[in-house]
Structure 1
Amino acid sequence: MREQDQTKICASCGREMRWRAAWADVWNEVRYCSAACRSRKVTPQDRALEGAILDLLAQSAPKAAVDPSDAGRAVGGDAGRALREPARRAARRLAAAGLVHVVQNGRVVDAATVRGPFLVRRHP
């Protein structure tokens, strides 16, 4: 595979990042897609959101899907609305790890490239 065709998943947001010429010398060390992700990293709150998503899925029917925002409300209480995007990042990281599927309009989609609202369900 040519270097230009290589991709990785960002350790913070779970999105796909493609090889860039600027990263040619350090491609093996690249973990984050942007300066924002590099400064944010993965916090204990992010791990709590991942756990909340897995707990919600464990409490639901085997083929049921949950909204990542529900995990934000479970972790943040009244401030759960502010955790909507962190919960989406947590869902993408779980999907990248192979623990869940991201579902949009009833179909499994690529978590690294999904846009718009999505749900999460257990990986079979």
Structure 2
Amino acid sequence: MGRARRGSDAAEPRHPKICASCGRTMEYRARWAANWDAVKYCSDACRRRGVTPIDRELEASIRQTLASRAASSSMCPSEAAKAVGGEEWRELMEPARRAARRLVAAGEVEITQGGRVVDPSTAKGPIRIRRSPASGATMEA
């Protein structure tokens, strides 16, 4: 037999959140119980990194690239990294993936693998980015 839970642990499960920096889903954890509503980042690394002007440039680049293509087209995150980083684009690959995850959380895009929509929090390997059907036919930068 187990004990009955008391206090905040007995409350309804808290809704998951999206990390403001990396765009991954954060599940409720007991250590965040006192301030779950104020939690914005999934880790100390994301808290330190935050969202930089380069991150916003990558988001804008994704929006612009998709807006210039047919509604059914997709793009690789490397296209945004190359547009923003030039010769140093490889360093921007993970930031470009983070930007795509944040845009998924905003409902603007979907992340796919093999033509199928995947969970951006768990996707491993090459991904493609395409407009979300819910975002409408046009995207603005």
TM-score by length of 2: 0.83
Residue 115 of structure 1, CA deviation: 2.1
Tell me which protein shows more strand as a share of its residues.
1
Partner in structure 2 of residue 115 of structure 1:
124
Q: Which moved more, 1:114-123 or 1:25-34?
A: 114-123
The alignment partner of 1:33 has SS state of coil
Residue type at the aligned position of 1:26: N
Q: Name stretches of at least 5 consecutive residues in structure 1 with no aligned partner.
A: none
Given candidates 2, 21, 24, the residue that maps to 2:12 is 2
Partner in structure 1 of residue 84 of structure 2:
75
What does 1:41-80 correspond to in 2, within 5 Å? 41-80=50-89
Residue type at the aligned position of 1:2: E
Matched, 1:100 2:109: yes
Residue 112 of structure 1, CA deviation: 2.6
Matched, 1:91 2:65: no
Structure-1 separation of matches of 2:56 and 2:18 = 17
Residue type at the aligned position of 2:107: G
Q: Which moved more, 1:33-42 or 1:108-117?
A: 108-117
Larger Rg: 2
Structure-2 separation of matches of 1:123 and 1:6 = 23
Fraction of identical pairs, as percent = 55
TM-score by length of 1: 0.94
1:9-68 CA-partner distances (Å, limit 9, x unpaired): 000000011111101101011000000000000011100000000111011221111001
Residue type at the aligned position of 1:43: T
Q: Name stretches of at least 5 consecutive residues in structure 2 with no aligned partner.
A: 1-10, 134-141
Number of residue equivalences: 123
Structure-1 separation of matches of 2:55 and 2:37 = 25
